[in-house]
Structure 1
């Protein structure tokens, strides 16, 4: 049998988009092992060429007019991906970062990580900024042969908001990476200038509305000043948009906003943290929750279905939309350290989510669509 060809739409890859980029970095090399007769080619923009070339198991083509901004990425997906697929004689296009072409053409699989734009609408200005992306996601998902998503909660949301039939959606959970502890975590974090002798609460994520970091800060502000932990919220470019909330709530001595952190700094944070907190209103998967549990860090999460799906009985839950309730839950979690048996059970739970399994599930979907396209 001749080689099958898959074009992977990585036009939005910049190295700074968090979870969706972790997803493709982890899965693509494993896919090449599971589909040895498939020739993979990547289509990327000028901001992603070097980064994609570092891990991609095949040739990389660049559209030089696609930059790091979402506007040219969207235009490239609409106007460039299908044409590039035909020129590459692709049997299939896989768009792993929420959207790709919006019209039916070559067989296509799209990974839609969530329908957050529809779940958490945000302000009028935010809705206006996200309107184009939301429309492209909807049309791309509806016109795809199959949709992959990363949780059962996300699948239900995609069906409800994007109008995709359940039989065309395949749930393939994300994986989690093994811990890579650093030798001296305090030294790795020296630039953060933590106040000494206080418990450390950590959280990680971009500053989109659904992350609910303002709700986290408001919860911390309900605690008596003498009992507040040091709360580290990593992610975001600097200056951090949360800085105004820190000042408004009088938390300048209680909150550290380090911006984007390196992989080593992230591992060091997990090593020193007494509690990981996920206040998100909704997620596609909630990978940091699994990462924290796998590193024996106790987790407190907002009580929503997707976080219960990935955290199971290993995490604690409380209503993050109520500042007093969530603040009390943070205090209670810090006051009741997790025993060794619970930590071991949490690690076992988190270890169920592997990138090998994620690659297996993704390969099965791609293989099925490829087989159908050949017929």
Structure 2
């Protein structure tokens, strides 16, 4: 089977969630199938595996309406896109589109890196569910990364197509830390600073954790940083890193007491799994998706309560509890891996090809004269 995977959502400088998901899925799937990537910028190749690629237009270009004409010439059995926005006009291949989450229906602020016209369309798009249905129903199979999102898709009747899980996972090859060695008095947050991420609550909670340093790792605009800095309690230690490398991120996690995520909405929560894989405990919002990902390995708190967050961290001062959480975290993270995700994708691809063939060969209804 020849699989073409759309890698045009790969960043050119550093991975975000979608970018890393696509790159990792390509690397794993290429081990068990014939895979070709679609890219639109040579710089994307630095963050992608060494897999054959074809240059096509940007997914944000007006030419996207006709991208299927180019893809048709590749002879793919199935095309997989890690988003739901790929052009499909005139396609002659099976298609899998992906919906990661429904966050932006509740929190419609678009990512700041998008061009202004795209941000406007983004807001309009998330005013109703029918545009999402139109996009997803063009596929043969719709993929998502969690049971939580799958259930929400069913609740809002977002597609008539079969929905299949193609899971997310941490990067392979990382060895967990020694749980007996303990941890520094440091806390790590990896994620954006959009309002629904709820960084404000963890900053306020630092008032009760004067011995700890909260490390905010992601890039941040000067305006957003100024908004958060005024919330830092007197005597609290909060450090803005404004971006870190993968190695720096791993090193901070290996030393930390815990990773913190008090987000009010997530599609998955990859930092939780990345932290657990290293044996670093997690304190997270009590939300369905975090419960799905963390199971009994994570400490869950009310995302609106700085006191709950601080109490959960303070409890990890108990070395016995911290060691128990560290060991259980490693066990839980081991249940997520890219090889399994690749097998899930291959199974979905085979199903999509069969559905596409049946659709093409099914008799067309007669038109009455």
What's the TM-score once normalised by structure 2's chain length?
A: 0.81
Q: Distance in 2 between matches of 1:6 and 1:252?
A: 55
Task: Report the secondary structure of 2:276's partner residue.
Answer: helix
Greater CA drift, 247-256 or 305-314: 247-256
Given that 2:172 and 2:337 are in contact with CA atoms closer than 8 Å, whether structure 1 keeps it comes out as: no
Query: Residues 245-267 of structure 1, C-alpha deviation per residue, up to 9 Å, x if partnerless?
Result: 12343468511111221111011
Given that 1:293 and 1:299 are in contact with CA atoms closer than 8 Å, whether structure 2 keeps it comes out as: yes
Q: 1:17 to 1:141 in 2, by over 3 A?
A: farther
1:266 correspondence with 2:249: yes
Deviation at 1:122, TM superposition (A): 5.0
Q: 1:116 to 1:334 in 2, by over 3 A?
A: farther
Given that 2:316 and 2:322 are in contact with CA atoms closer than 8 Å, whether structure 1 keeps it comes out as: no
87, 98, 102: which one aligns with 1:101: 87
Tell me the equivalent position of 2:49. Answer: 55
Given that 1:203 and 1:233 are in contact with CA atoms closer than 8 Å, whether structure 2 keeps it comes out as: yes
Q: 1:95 to 1:352 in 2, by over 3 A?
A: same
Q: Distance in 1 between matches of 2:7 and 2:234?
A: 40
Given that 1:141 and 1:162 are in contact with CA atoms closer than 8 Å, whether structure 2 keeps it comes out as: no
Given that 2:276 and 2:282 are in contact with CA atoms closer than 8 Å, whether structure 1 keeps it comes out as: yes
Query: Residues 119-144 of structure 1, C-alpha deviation per residue, up to 9 Å, x if partnerless?
Result: 33459x99857326648655322321
Deviation at 1:368, TM superposition (A): 1.7
1:343 correspondence with 2:330: no
Deviation at 1:355, TM superposition (A): 0.9
RMSD of aligned Cα (Å): 3.2
Q: 1:120 to 1:198 in 2, by over 3 A?
A: same
What's the TM-score once normalised by structure 1's chain length?
A: 0.79
Q: Distance in 2 between matches of 1:104 and 1:207?
A: 40
104, 107, 118: which one aligns with 1:117: 104
Q: Distance in 2 between matches of 1:211 and 1:102?
A: 33
Given that 1:77 and 1:99 are in contact with CA atoms closer than 8 Å, whether structure 2 keeps it comes out as: no
Q: 1:103 to 1:301 in 2, by over 3 A?
A: farther
Tell me the equivalent position of 1:143. Answer: 138
Task: Report the secondary structure of 2:350's partner residue.
Answer: helix
230, 238, 255: which one aligns with 1:247: 230
Task: Report the secondary structure of 1:317's partner residue.
Answer: strand
Q: Distance in 1 between matches of 2:90 and 2:158?
A: 16
Q: Distance in 1 between matches of 2:206 and 2:289?
A: 23
1:22 correspondence with 2:20: yes
Given that 2:5 and 2:36 are in contact with CA atoms closer than 8 Å, whether structure 1 keeps it comes out as: yes
The answer for unaligned runs of 5 or more in structure 1 is 67-72, 184-196
Q: Distance in 2 between matches of 1:351 and 1:366?
A: 25
Given that 2:176 and 2:330 are in contact with CA atoms closer than 8 Å, whether structure 1 keeps it comes out as: no
Given that 1:176 and 1:287 are in contact with CA atoms closer than 8 Å, whether structure 2 keeps it comes out as: yes
Task: Figure out how many residues of one structure are paired with residues of the other and give that number.
Answer: 342
Deviation at 1:146, TM superposition (A): 0.9
Task: Report the secondary structure of 2:321's partner residue.
Answer: coil
Q: 1:138 to 1:362 in 2, by over 3 A?
A: same
Tell me the equivalent position of 1:41. Answer: 36
Q: Distance in 1 between matches of 2:174 and 2:307?
A: 35
144, 159, 168: which one aligns with 2:162: 168
